[in-house]
Chains A and B, each alone.
Chain A
């Protein structure tokens, strides 16, 4: 069992959980993920590591309530435990001195981009970050990302905060401005990462995305997370989750993310009903 040291609600239905997992904290690196299972009946789902503290022996993850597992996680309080917390999994993000790096974060992706931006900045890169959300009430960690970057641009789809529009607009302007951009890192919903990659492709700027297919074990055993990158099948859990966004078959990823749409809805509704009854 893995104890929840603390929890914090960052935005509407978006939570940060700090989990006691000293062994994982010792080895975690930016870009890696964990697999969690709430309890005996739970599903195994991957969540990207947002932060870790080796001294404290803790690992933090940020998630949005979108399905049965994240909904059930959100019902837990600090001091309670989850059954399983497996990691650190996946290949760590590639960190070097690239020059100017544009970090694009959508939704919950800011929790993953922020530590990465910080390390990139520490490695001598000029970091320009773009933070996007659907609406103001879904924005969080704006200050943290600002501190981790040299410059920050915020967008909301509905214009309730920052610039109205989607992240690809300021991204395109940066690329068109003539200032050199050496690398783009986009982390967020699949559709956002796809359009970031499509935006940068004509400019030939290497664009790294962190893919989030469905997984079961997270260790290369099942192949559920297979993605096609440069016409080659890869397992996102062990070959990724970071890949070259220009090489990713986005339609395949999108289709595979929808395999269990009906079952996920059924399971989510079942748990919501059960919680509503107070059992």
Chain B
């Protein structure tokens, strides 16, 4: 798949990957073996009939490809771009053994983009379901909430989707940058969910505006919690509150959700560092580093305490970042941030790290080397250290059980929480994970909610 030249794309917010042409898509689809056992489908958290839609692409039957894909996946334009296919469907592909799996993600994106380009609005598909008369509140309009809402609406339930921010999409809007996932595509898929009859209430901070008990008293028959893991973590080291030190959530929210990269056309500002350090090795760290570069930084560093093999970011995103000139300082960890007399960050004192025995994650534990401290001059820092669930709802719901990490305890298969009529799925249950795993959990919860409501 063609990509924008790294030198050019490092200075713009346009999409990096340009997508397949029809010829490229068909050529890729023609490689599919159409295995009767479809291991790819088994590798997909939402069980898309992958051989089916790939065959339809090959046969030039695009409406059929769309229909097969959307039967299981309400948000294909998003998943085609941000799913880690290399550890899911593509890893399971029979051709993966030879090192060349079918590029399922790219084909998925091609089909979703075809639909958007050719039908204007996204088609709700089959005829409207028979209303069940049951009302379901879905809290949080991120990947989990959107999928739960779509599935429940398709089953005939009356769904209201509550979102705290001023736009639906959650992390797809505030977190993942435009160059990886255009916001227009997210909004097209949000509009598709609305077209299924889902009512969306924006600017609604549940836990503050209404508690879960008030929702249930208000006549909702079930509640699905998909509020994600949106609260940023810090390292609690000296200097972390200096001016110029951002959480990745704040930096990315300013850039993506508030469109600070278009300041002053848009009112929200963001700092443009010249020497920027991003702390962390996940996708959010890669996104932050690449945003800082596009805003105009001269030097952007990724500071990660382990080595490249332990990096949780997708291989593709690490490569994209490297191509664009992001500098990786591996086996390095901040000890403290240094500020000037007016409170602005001017440097980081870092440790060199070594790897010790494996920890509970199975990865070798990073250990600071005593006496290895060195200074790195920077004028901006983005801490991409992971997130945990926002406690607003748990704090106002006495009978919802949470773990010590703040995640909501729910059944692994059904998403049912210990509180009656309340289900949960996605990062609120697992802690920060992927878009597709949240969607898979939401799908299973929706199925269980439906079963429960039909009692």
Stretch at the interface among B5-13, B52-60, B267-275, B330-338: B267-275
Total residues of chain A contacting the partner, CB 8 A = 41
The answer to whether B268 and A44 touch across the interface, beta carbons within 8 angstroms, is: yes
| CA distance in complex: A230, B366 (Å) | 31
Contacts of A83 in B (CB 8 A): 166
Known: A23-B209, A88-B209, A255-B343. A222 touches B250 (CB 8 A): yes
Cβ-based interface call for B22 (8 A): no
| CA distance in complex: A192, B241 (Å) | 22
- As a 0/1 sequence over residues 2 to 35 of chain A, the CB contacts with chain B under 8 angstroms (1 = contact) are 0000000000000000000001100100000000
Cβ-based interface call for A139 (8 A): no
* B264 touches which of A69, A84, A224, A266 (Cβ 8 Å): A266
The answer to whether B166 and A27 touch across the interface, beta carbons within 8 angstroms, is: no
Contacts of A258 in B (CB 8 A): 243
Contacts of B391 in A (CB 8 A): 220, 238
Contacts of B430 in A (CB 8 A): none
The answer to whether A87 and B243 touch across the interface, beta carbons within 8 angstroms, is: no
Complex: chain B residue closest to A271, CB-CB: B267
* Main SS class of interface, B: loop
The answer to whether B392 and A220 touch across the interface, beta carbons within 8 angstroms, is: yes
- A241-274 interface with B by 8 A CB criterion: 251-252, 255-256, 258-260, 263-264, 266-267, 270
The answer to whether A220 and B231 touch across the interface, beta carbons within 8 angstroms, is: yes
Known: A43-B258, A217-B253, A256-B241. A68 touches B392 (CB 8 A): no
Known: A88-B208, A219-B392, A270-B264. A224 touches B250 (CB 8 A): yes
* Main SS class of interface, A: mixed
- B215-274 interface with A by 8 A CB criterion: 230-232, 234, 236, 240-241, 243-244, 247, 249-250, 253-254, 258-259, 263-269, 271
| CA distance in complex: A261, B213 (Å) | 43
Contacts of A68 in B (CB 8 A): 267
The answer to whether A264 and B209 touch across the interface, beta carbons within 8 angstroms, is: no
| CA distance in complex: A84, B205 (Å) | 12
The answer to whether B205 and A86 touch across the interface, beta carbons within 8 angstroms, is: yes
- B146-173 interface with A by 8 A CB criterion: 164-166
* A221 touches which of B240, B249, B342 (Cβ 8 Å): B249
| CA distance in complex: A23, B247 (Å) | 31
The answer to whether B264 and A267 touch across the interface, beta carbons within 8 angstroms, is: yes
Contacts of A44 in B (CB 8 A): 166, 258, 268
Cβ-based interface call for B399 (8 A): no
Report the minimal beta-carbon distance from A40 to chain B, rounded to whole angstroms: 8
The answer to whether B267 and A41 touch across the interface, beta carbons within 8 angstroms, is: yes
Known: A86-B205, A252-B343. A267 touches B267 (CB 8 A): yes
Cβ-based interface call for B203 (8 A): yes
- A206-235 interface with B by 8 A CB criterion: 216-217, 219-224, 226, 228, 233
Cβ-based interface call for B100 (8 A): no
- A77-99 interface with B by 8 A CB criterion: 83-89
The answer to whether A223 and B232 touch across the interface, beta carbons within 8 angstroms, is: yes
Cβ-based interface call for B375 (8 A): no
| CA distance in complex: A256, B345 (Å) | 12
* A86 touches which of B203, B231, B263, B268 (Cβ 8 Å): B203
* B234 touches which of A69, A89, A223, A260 (Cβ 8 Å): A223
Contacts of B271 in A (CB 8 A): 259-260
Cβ-based interface call for B414 (8 A): no
Interface size class of chain B, counting residues whose CB lies under 8 Å from the partner chain: 35 or more
Contacts of A41 in B (CB 8 A): 259, 265-267
* B390 touches which of A220, A226, A233 (Cβ 8 Å): A220
Known: A223-B232, A238-B392, A252-B241. A217 touches B269 (CB 8 A): no
Most A-side CB within 10 Å, residue of B166, B203, B390: B203
- B258-311 interface with A by 8 A CB criterion: 258-259, 263-269, 271
* B241 touches which of A84, A233, A238 (Cβ 8 Å): A233
Contacts of B234 in A (CB 8 A): 223, 233
The answer to whether B343 and A256 touch across the interface, beta carbons within 8 angstroms, is: yes
Cβ-based interface call for A42 (8 A): yes
Report the minimal beta-carbon distance from B167 to chain A, rounded to whole angstroms: 9
The answer to whether B165 and A217 touch across the interface, beta carbons within 8 angstroms, is: yes
| CA distance in complex: A256, B263 (Å) | 20
Cβ-based interface call for B210 (8 A): yes
Contacts of A183 in B (CB 8 A): none
- A60-117 interface with B by 8 A CB criterion: 68-69, 83-89
Known: A43-B268, A84-B203. A89 touches B208 (CB 8 A): yes
Contacts of B390 in A (CB 8 A): 219-221
| CA distance in complex: A61, B240 (Å) | 33
* A89 touches which of B205, B254, B342 (Cβ 8 Å): B205
| CA distance in complex: A85, B166 (Å) | 9
Report the minimal beta-carbon distance from A75 to chain B, rounded to whole angstroms: 14
| CA distance in complex: A192, B342 (Å) | 20
The answer to whether A226 and B253 touch across the interface, beta carbons within 8 angstroms, is: no
| CA distance in complex: A87, B207 (Å) | 10
Complex: chain B residue closest to A262, CB-CB: B269
Known: A37-B166, A267-B264. A221 touches B232 (CB 8 A): yes
| CA distance in complex: A44, B259 (Å) | 12
Report the minimal beta-carbon distance from A3 to chain B, rounded to whole angstroms: 14
The answer to whether B267 and A43 touch across the interface, beta carbons within 8 angstroms, is: yes
* A85 touches which of B203, B231, B241 (Cβ 8 Å): B203
Contacts of A42 in B (CB 8 A): 267
Complex: chain A residue closest to B259, CB-CB: A41
Contacts of A87 in B (CB 8 A): 205, 208-209
**A-B CB contact pairs (8 Å), 9 listed:** A24-B209, A44-B166, A83-B166, A84-B166, A84-B203, A85-B203, A217-B165, A219-B208, A222-B232
The 6 residue pairs across chains A and B that have the minimum distance between CB atoms: A255-B343, A263-B269, A222-B250, A43-B267, A223-B247, A84-B166
What 11 additional pairs, Cβ within 8 angstroms, besides A233-B234, A238-B392? A27-B210, A43-B258, A44-B268, A84-B166, A88-B209, A216-B254, A217-B164, A219-B392, A222-B249, A223-B249, A233-B236
